[in-house]
């Protein structure tokens, strides 16, 4: 009788210890899992025409590793993508990566293709809303169009980013290419096509993003 009781008590103790160890291991695994920062953009973020690892998104990962370890940048940008394309693939990206922060860098190709402003606005709103509903903080990178598109159209395009950010409670960088496209010598910071920033422009683009992004990285 005594031996049975002892063995039963020992078994319960071992089982309890195993459960506690399992819970501890699970907690440690969760703590070690990196927080993900998802970038959904176009060629400006996809290292178009650049050597791999030199784009602003890659530079962002390096900065996070040095200053705020524990973050993983998932760059899901595709050259030529539009807001419609970004919206169509966002749900799968959110489910796969479960990001804590989502950076949306889209709209430039909408403007180049002359797509309706209302469509661009609606797509960006849908993306920001979906990301927030998935539990992520959202940063919207604003773009501007050249003056030859007409002053009224250019202003409306610029404003739509602010409208989306306000409506969807997203952080906003008003102009992603500030200091690049409107600098003292912009041609020195662009590739031969005069559309895509070159490698020398990437650190400035990172600084532009970092000014808004760092506020979203706090626990």
Judge residue 84's burial from the number of C-beta atoms within 10 Å of its C-beta, 0-12 exposed, 13-18 middle, 19 or more buried. middle
Strands (E), the chain: 35-41, 71-75, 101-105, 137-141, 171-173
Smallest CA-to-CA distance from 107 within 91, 90, 92, 122 is with 122
**Helix, strand, or coil here: 102?**
strand
Task: Name 147's Cβ contacts closer than 8 Å, sequence gap at least 6.
Answer: 154
Instruction: Report d(CA 17, CA 26) in Å as an integer.
Output: 14
Burial label, 22 (beta-carbon count in 10 A; 0-12, 13-18, 19+)? exposed
The answer to whether 171 and 212 are in contact (CB under 8 A) is yes
Residues identified as active-site: 43, 193, 196
Rounded to whole angstroms, how far apart are CA atoms 205 and 197? 9
């Amino acid at each position: 009788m005594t031996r049975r009781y002892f063995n039963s008590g020992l078994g319960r103790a071992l089982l309890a210890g195993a459960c506690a160890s399992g819970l501890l291991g699970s907690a440690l695994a969760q703590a070690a899992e990196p927080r993900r920062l998802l970038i959904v953009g176009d060629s400006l973020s996809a290292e178009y025409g650049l050597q791999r690892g030199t784009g602003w998104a890659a530079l962002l990962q390096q900065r996070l590793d040095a200053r705020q370890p524990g973050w993983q940048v998932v760059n899901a940008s595709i050259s030529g993508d539009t807001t419609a394309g970004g919206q169509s693939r966002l749900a799968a990206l959110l489910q796969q990566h479960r990001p804590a922060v989502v950076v949306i860098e889209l709209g430039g190709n909408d403007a180049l293709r002359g797509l309706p402003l209302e469509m661009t606005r609606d797509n960006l709103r849908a993306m920001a809303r979906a990301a927030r509903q998935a539990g992520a903080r959202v940063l919207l990178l604003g773009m501007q169009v050249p003056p030859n598109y007409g002053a009224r159209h250019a202003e409306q395009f610029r404003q739509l980013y602010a409208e989306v950010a306000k409506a969807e409670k997203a952080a906003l960088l008003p102009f992603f290419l500030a200091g690049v496209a409107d600098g003292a010598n912009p041609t020195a910071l662009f590739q031969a096509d005069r559309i895509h920033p070159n490698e020398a422009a990437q650190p400035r683009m990172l600084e532009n993003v970092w000014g808004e992004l760092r506020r979203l990285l706090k626990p």
